[in-house]
Amino acid sequence: MTSMTIGRLAAAAEVGVETVRYYQRRGLLAVPEPTHGQVRHYGDGALARLRFIRRAQQLGFSLDEIADLLGLDEHTDRNAARALAKEKLAQIDERMARLSAMRNALTELVDCCEHSSTAQPCPILHTLAHPDERQNAAYSKSIAAG
């Protein structure tokens, strides 16, 4: 099956037809000349390229970054590829750190809410409203650090 219409190509890559066209507009995928008539046909190269794009997305790369990756050569551009991957890794670490700070703050607020007297106002809402009175140190500590 070396020749498919856009619909079959999209199905094979498990993306929508509109997505394929979108990638073409973004310059990630070539638009072949129409064979006999108006309809364009795609080969295995196009399918491989679509799969490359989807896998790179799963690793966290944006479409712009994927355009860069697609421009690299397996044999001559190892350094460039590794640099992009390391940069992405750093971005992921940053995002994880931010999420981790949120997680710490929220966890402490929830714990506090679960173990404080019912007579008191809700620690979660109260801390959001008046963090300066920090009954629970969680919020200030975790967030100020991040």
Q: Site residues (CB under 7 A) for DNA?
A: 5-8, 15-19, 21-22, 31, 34, 36-40, 57, 62-64
Q: Which is nearer to a copy of itself, 14 or 18 (CB)?
A: 14
DSSP state of 67: H
Q: How near is the Cβ of 16 to DNA at its closest, in Å? A: 4
Q: Which does 27 bind (CB under 5 to 8 A by kind): DNA, a copy of itself, none?
A: none
DSSP state of 143: H
Q: Which is nearer to DNA, 131 or 141 (CB)?
A: 131
Q: Which is nearer to DNA, 28 or 109 (CB)?
A: 28
| Identified binder of a copy of itself from the candidate list 19, 67, 113, 135, rule CB under 8 A | 113
Q: Which does 36 bind (CB under 5 to 8 A by kind): DNA, a copy of itself, none?
A: DNA
**Following DSSP, what letter does each residue of 4-60 receive, concatenated?**
B-HHHHHHHHTS-HHHHHHHHHTTSS--PPBPSSS-B-B-HHHHHHHHHHHHHHHTT
Q: Are 119 and 125 in contact (CB under 8 A)?
A: no
DSSP state of 135: S
Distance (Å, rounded) from C-alpha 107 to C-alpha 81? 38
CA distances from 14 to 44, 63, 89 (A): 14, 17, 26
User: Which residues would be at the binding site for a copy of itself (CB under 8 A)?
Assistant: 48, 51-52, 55-56, 58-60, 69, 72-75, 77-78, 81-82, 85-86, 88-89, 92-93, 95-96, 99-100, 102-103, 105-107, 109-110, 113-114, 118, 121-122, 124-126, 128-131, 139, 143
